[in-house]
Amino acid sequence: MSTTFQLDTSTSRATPTPAPMKRLTVPKIRARKQDGVTAEPIVMLTAYTARQAQLLDAACDLLLVGDSLGQVIYGLPSTIPVTLEMMANHAAAVVRGSYHAAVIVDMPFGSYEQSPQQAFESAAYLLKASGAAAVKLEGGAAMAETVSFLNTRGIPVMGHVGLTPQAVNVLGGYMARGRSEAEADKIVSDAVALDEAGAFAVVVEGVVEPIAIAATRAVSCPTIGIGASAHCDGQVLVTEDMLGMFERVPRFVKRYEDIASTIQGAAEKYAEEVRTRAFPGPDQTYQPRD
């Protein structure tokens, strides 16, 4: 069915018919967890482009424009070199391609850690440039003041604890966190600090399962797990990982497709047809009209 627009001449607003699905809001996502219980788990996937957003939108509650785009889209060695401009451009594309899921945009390394004021400037730029609903930043108790500063100034924040990829140079790699008691306690107390500072949700990444369960019980806001536990209040995966775009499959990823083979197969078939002049055929060529 095609969309038509009714112009209201008094306001110059065009109203689309049929009305698009209403976009989920951050307060609605936050309210999914009531008194420690999330009856309907939160579905989040990463998205970096408008077309990807269009395809994922209806199935998801949240679309995350993750700084993982550094590796996935740009072939960078880590998320460290990702810039605010890269995030703003991809987030704007994802907002344009979606109408239902709330869009969350990652704050890249170096754009928020210095001070709450620096974080506000960066987050305000990201939201103005993209139309996204909220930002995500990495770090626990050290970021609590910043989370509260942003939240009380109109910028909802999703936290991120456990394996925090922007800290790869401190952590020394991407292995699961929380194998010592001290580290386990720190991850749970980081999640609590973010919750108390007003984070509307907290990503718990790459931790041994009891930590994810303890953090989920300890915080009032929803936890979103990745390499964590089915007991989290929601789950996130990098879309390209779950589609099978890469040879390397982290242990916590479930592959729902083998899209890399589909793409390679199509490219090989196309190349063969170009080389044998089977493509373009009569259906793909224009002839003069009689």
Q: Which residues are catalytic?
A: 205
Does 67 bind ligand KIV (CB under 6 A)? Our answer is yes
Beta strands in the chain (DSSP E): 4-8, 13-17, 33-34, 37-38, 42-46, 62-65, 102-106, 134-136, 157-162, 201-205, 223-226, 234-237
Q: Which is nearer to ligand KIV, 215 or 226 (CB)?
A: 226
Binding mask 179-218 for ligand KIV (x = CB under 6 A): ------------------------x-x-------------
Does 241 bind ligand KIV (CB under 6 A)? Our answer is no
Q: State the burial class of residue 280 (Cβ atoms within 10 Å of its Cβ: 0-12, 13-18, 19+).
A: exposed
d(CA 78, CA 63): 21
Give the interface segment with ligand KIV, choosing from 60-68, 110-118, 172-180, 182-190 (CB under 6 A). 60-68
Does 223 bind ligand KIV (CB under 6 A)? Our answer is no
Radius of gyration of the chain from its Cα atoms, rounded to whole angstroms: 22
Q: Which is nearer to ligand KIV, 245 or 279 (CB)?
A: 245
Phi–psi pair at 192, nearest 5 degrees? -65, -40
Q: State the burial class of residue 39 (Cβ atoms within 10 Å of its Cβ: 0-12, 13-18, 19+).
A: exposed
Give the interface segment with ligand KIV, choosing from 65-73, 191-199, 248-256, 267-275 (CB under 6 A). 65-73
Q: How far is the CB of 172 from ligand KIV (least distance, A)?
A: 19
| Terminal-residue alpha carbon distance, the chain | 35
CB atoms within 10 A of CB 216: 25
Give the interface segment with ligand KIV, choosing from 63-71, 83-91, 149-157, 209-217 (CB under 6 A). 63-71
Give the 3-state secondary structure of residue 205: strand
238, 239, 240, 243: residue in contact with ligand KIV (rule CB under 6 A): 238
48, 57, 62, 66: residue in contact with ligand KIV (rule CB under 6 A): 66
Which residues make up the interface to ligand KIV (CB under 6 A)? 46, 64, 66-68, 106, 203, 205, 226, 236, 238
